[in-house]
Structure 1
Amino acid sequence: MEQILEAIQSGASGDDIANLPIPESYRAAFVKRDESDMFEGVDSWDKDPRKSLHVDDVATPELAPDECLIAVMASSINFNTVWTSIFEPLPTFGFLDRLARESEWAKRHSLPYHVVGSDASGVVLRIGSAVRNWKPGDRVTVQCNHVDGQDPTAHNDSMMANNQRIWGFETNFGGLADMSIVRANQLMPKPTHLSWEESAVNGLCSSTSYRMLVSDNGARMKQGDSVLIWGATGGIGGYAVQYVLNGGGRPIGVVSSPERAEILNRMGCEAVIDRKASNYQFWSDEHTQDESEWRRFGKDIRAVNNGEDVDIVFEHPGRSTMGASVFAAKRGGTIVTCAATSGYMVEFDNRHFWMKLKKLLSSHFANYTESWAANKLLCEGKIQPLLTDTYTLDQVGDASLAVHHNKAEGKLGVLCLSPAEGLGVDDPERRAEIGEDKITVFRG
């Protein structure tokens, strides 16, 4: 791996990189199958990823014809890594076992360990015999939609494919490692003006927000739309704010502190609601929601939105907020949801839904076309990375715990093969043109 790193840092040619020896093992972050019950009886909040995530050498897998082996320079932490590390809502080894039944190549994924991570930036080292659009030496980022083209369900919107999976969560050989195996249709060009870690944090969250708001498969936000965004300085929320601003809409960001409100103001989001200061109590007890609190919330929204209800609600907390989200959308408005970080069993008052002709739309990551479009906007500097802090691969447990306990804004990057922050910028002139203050807004 040292020889590979030296070649990448020295700007070696693609031919030189293609001739480098590939090590038989590499360093990776993984959970163990025989530890799947280690947190049995422990409250979710108290489950500690530092106890379950191991960093050690694993065997380098054989390369399938449609795959690429990449040197991972940097990766990032997503909620799915946290879920895998605390074995919730169930251990991910079941996903790997089901994948293994699909083909001879898929059998590689069912192992005693699961290498995690659904983001990466890096350099192509080897390509399979069927790969035609990528070559050794290419600098790339990775989108995590793992799907093949042999099923007819994959050929309209690949997110609807029967065998659609999230790489590094429902597959093995994820991005929190010094190397990774990815399908060729997961690769995208690395933004030349961004560092390795800045490039690594965008794939999952930015593409998810793009599909939810911009794509024809999502809310189809148009110029002038007002969009209520829960967790507006979080991973997907921070990208949602940017897509709304970039598309001529009006974001109303919901955050939980004045410091987070200040981040939104620096991004250009003027309408902000501090939910902690307002102390909304949407649930009066475990089984009962308080409609008067929905009404107070709606009044606060109208106070910062020119007296109007919102066109779109960008929803992902789930149980804690869904009732309020459905209530807050305007007549004929859309609630688009992609997650349920506060609980999966949601409730809302159907009268406010059906009688006002609102729409509830589900969304899940993004297809290759949507991810490519989102990455193009990053390459053009129209969308910025949300990197807040950077950890080393050996600190992956600490980084995952910070995300688990909601102590991090934006995205946490993880240096894998890259030895330091700030490396990998190939076009400093482009970076200066876009502006350091914009690129690093979440690090301000």
Structure 2
Amino acid sequence: MSELTRAVVAGAPADVLARLPLPAEYEAAHLRIEDVDLFSGAAERDVRRTIHVGPVPMPELAPDEVLVAVMASALNYNTVWSAKFEPIPSFTFLRHYAKQGGWAARHDQPFHVLGSDAAGVVVRTGSGVRGTRVGDHVVVATAHVDDQDPVTHHDGMLGAEQRAWGFETNYGGLAEFAVVRASQVLPKAPHLSWEEAACSPLCAGTAYRMLISERGANMRQGDVVLIWGAAGGLGGYAVQLVRNGGGIPVGVVSSDAKAAVARRLGCELVVDRRDIGEISADPETAVKAGKRLGQIIRQEIGEDPHIVFEHVGRETFGVSVFVAGRGGTIVTCGSSTGYQHTFDNRYLWMRLKKVIGSHGANLYEQRQMNRLIQRGRIAPMLSEVYPLRAVGDAARSLQQNTHTGKVGVLCAAPATGLGVTDPDLRARLGRDRVAPLMAA
């Protein structure tokens, strides 16, 4: 740990942080380009073999960037994709970005620092940064956008150069330091610890755009919303948003333990996947499973889903298309079980359903979601915490789907529970509304 990091951990004031020198290297979870062909011909792609934790060189800061001393981060499935080098090696993203030249060229390195979530303390600001200062406690929004693209000013997620930070860019959040654009920085909720705050931005923002934003499903009060993986990180935020917005959350889970979590978060109905029977990408099998799922939902809720919150992909997409009610919406942000979707199109076109693609969240949507978190209206989905040295094991738990909620990673923070600057709000909210999965 560098002298600067030790000062941050000790709570040194901003003027002290500004004077301390930046280290030449810092600890980071990263991939190495020489490992790209490691899994060639292998039946199993164990991400623990490719995620390394060790020193990487400190990059120079661009005028529109800030350097954050990362107290804690969190795992997302894009780290699993990166470490498997699927569907393509993330070094391809870095090379493509570097072709812009200028500051982008720094990202093309023989290493890739991973991580698309972070909470920490600003220790440096670029010469063009306004509104963010050394010493600020912040969380990092995931969308890395080009503010010189006109489309970005309509919706940051539509810009041709929009990227997922820490996945399609270098110097991500699973590290002692992280480089982020000033347009990614949001104030950390003062009642949360570092690890609680770090676990929300990517998944919570994604869920907000999918469900609440006019660019997503635009959920209304009374809407029945079917949520796959309702006890996971993404699904858990979806359940809370639906419940808070007057909707009726229906969760699908894969175990008794996850069913208990989904109920705890507020699902009015929880369906165990084992009660649906076989689920697969085969359209006929999907229709059969959809009929069983639809019957359960109508029997318990009284109507078909208005919205299906879809991120599982190939395995469940056909069921999602079938089970959505007439005129309903399937909103999708990912495909953790595969990208090639097959479904019986009759149930889409003849019943006037819609499929909406959604990716991340723009800064305004992230700010709106961050406001809900700051006010204690949305609880972090943190379920367990690993040290940075064990990030490979943490990623493996995502790869094998043995986790619940969000998996946090301590980076510079020496212990859990640090970083709370509003203990009164935390006490008023109570543990169940601050960290419901940790309280379970």
TM-score relative to the length of structure 1: 0.97
For residue 197 of structure 2, give the secondary structure of its aligned residue in structure 1.
Answer: helix
Cα contact 1:282–1:291 (8 A) shared by 2: no
Query: 1:138-217 alignment to 2 at 5 Å?
Result: 138-217=136-215
User: Which residue does the alignment assign to 1:242?
Assistant: 240
Residue 279 of structure 1: CA displacement? 4.5
Distance of 2:143 and 2:7 partners within structure 1: 29
Report the alpha carbon displacement of residue 356 of structure 1 after superposing the two structures with TM. 1.0
Structure 1 unaligned blocks of 5 or more: none
Cα RMSD after superposing both structures: 1.2
Contact 1:201 1:413 in 2 (8 A): yes
| 1:440, distance to aligned residue in structure 2 (A) | 2.0
- Correspondence for 2:333: 338
d(CA) in 1 for partners of 2:285, 2:340: 13
Tell whether 2:217 aligns with 1:222: no
Alignment of 1:364-443 (within 5 A): 364-443=359-438
| 1:201 Cα deviation from its structure 2 partner | 0.4
The aligned residue for residue 24 of structure 1 is 24
Alignment correspondent of 1:297 = 293
Conserved 8 A contact 1:264-1:270 = no
Give the SS at the match of 1:310.
coil
Name the counterpart of 1:359. Answer: 354
Q: Secondary structure, in 3 states, of the residue corresponding to 2:120?
A: strand
Letter of the structure 2 residue corresponding to residue 13 of structure 1: P
- The alpha carbon displacement at 1:294 in A equals 1.9
Contact 2:376–2:433 (8 Å) recurs in 1: no
- Contact 2:278-2:289 within 8 A present in 1 as well: yes
Task: Provide, for residues 287-345 of structure 1, a one-character-per-residue CA deviation record: whole Å limited to 9, x for no partner.
Answer: 7535333211110111221x200110001111111111111111111110001111111
Q: Measure, in 1, the Cα distance between the counterparts of 2:236 and 2:286.
A: 29
1:301, 1:4 → 2: CA distance? Answer: 55
Q: For residues 291 and 55 of structure 1, what CA distance do their matches in structure 2 show?
A: 45
CA distance in 2, matches of 1:370, 1:14: 29
How far off its partner does 1:8 sit? 2.5
> Which residue among 89, 92, 97 is the counterpart of 1:91?
89
Residues 283 and 318 in structure 2, CA contact (< 8 A), matched pair in contact too: no
| 8 Å Cα contact 2:312-2:336 kept in structure 1 | yes
How many residue pairs match? The answer is: 439
Shift of 1:185: 0.4
Instruction: Return the alpha-carbon distance in structure 1 between the equivalents of residues 285 and 338 of structure 2.
Output: 15
The range that moved more, 134-143 or 17-26, is 17-26
Normalization by structure 2: what TM-score? 0.98
> Would you say the 8 A contact 2:286–2:319 is kept in 1?
no
- Cα distance, 1:409 vs structure 2: 0.5
Q: CA deviation at 1:212?
A: 0.1
Residue 67 of structure 2 aligns to a residue whose secondary structure is strand
Partner of 2:66: 68
Structure 1 residues 311 and 286: CA distance shift in structure 2, 3 A: closer
How far apart are the structure 2 equivalents of 1:36 and 1:53? 11
Counterpart position of 2:7: 7
Q: Could you tell me which residue of structure 2 aligns to residue 104 of structure 1?
A: 102
* Partner Cα distance (1:32, 1:286) in 2: 37
SS in 2 for 1:219: coil
Percent sequence identity is 51
Matching residue of 2:312: 317
Distance 1:39 1:70, change over 3 A: same
Query: CA–CA distance in 1 between the matches of 2:240 and 2:95?
Result: 38
